[in-house]
A = this chain, B = another copy of it.
Amino acid sequence: MVERILKANDAVARSNRSRFDAAGVLVVNFIGSPGAGKTAVLEQTVKGLRGRVALACIEGDPYTTRDAERIAALDCPVVQINTQGGCHLDASLVSQALDQLDLAAADLLLIENVGNLLCPSQYDLGEHLTVVVLSVTEGADKPEKYPAAFQRAQAVIINKVDALALTDVDLDAVTAAIRRFNPQAAIFPLSARTGEGVEPWLLWLEDRVKAVR
């Protein structure tokens, strides 16, 4: 049953990817726990790449439109997907959202998945890159406990480094834990709240956008 659902999802994901490629848009799927700071990372990315890259966002959330409102406030095109309590986005939900976006006008589409470190990692949305957002306050044991998300990531953002002083968490230990499950991923320690460390992430992402243009 689960396998049949995943197979059907993969077919729609392939069709999404064809649409993205035809439009020349790079698509990034952001996965992370509730409160890891995914929306704050998207806000910093939209602000930081404004004028350099044409952006659009899709916001996944169980019920609210809060995150989409935060992105819309930055004058970035955004579509809200509400899963009605569902624990992950899937390729069909993204496909429907695409109908409300001008893909041809965008260079980069950021998709914020539902806050969940488990279920979203099973579903291909048709994205080119998966980025995991992990906050230091979650602890260094998360990659070992939730390996699937980390294994499929091309980049891991270690967010909330400004809060390190108030935790028992060691940044080197977090980095080593990620490396154990994914030696290749780019790792960006940063604070989406203070802006510290955001620039290397923006440069990395901009390079990837240029590669598909």
Q: CB within 8 Å of B: which residues of A?
A: 1, 33-35, 61-64, 66, 85-87, 114-119, 135, 137-139, 141-142, 144-148, 160, 162-163, 165-168, 193
Identical chains bound together, number: 2
Chain A at the B interface: SS class: loop
Q: Are B118 and A117 in contact (CB under 8 A)?
A: no
Specify which chain B residues have a CB less than 8 angstroms from the CB of A147 in the assembled complex.
Answer: 62-63
Q: Are B85 and A135 in contact (CB under 8 A)?
A: no
For the complex formed, measure the closest distance between the CB of A129 and the CB atoms of chain B, giving whole angstroms.
22
Q: Are A34 and B142 in contact (CB under 8 A)?
A: yes
For the complex formed, measure the closest distance between the CB of A197 and the CB atoms of chain B, giving whole angstroms.
16
Q: A63: which of B1, B33, B144 is its contact (CB, 8 Å)?
A: B144
Specify which chain B residues have a CB less than 8 angstroms from the CB of A144 in the assembled complex.
Answer: 63-64, 66
For the complex formed, measure the closest distance between the CB of A120 and the CB atoms of chain B, giving whole angstroms.
10
Q: Are A35 and B138 in contact (CB under 8 A)?
A: yes
Q: Are A35 and B135 in contact (CB under 8 A)?
A: yes
Task: State the CA gap A67–B35 with chains docked (Å).
Answer: 21
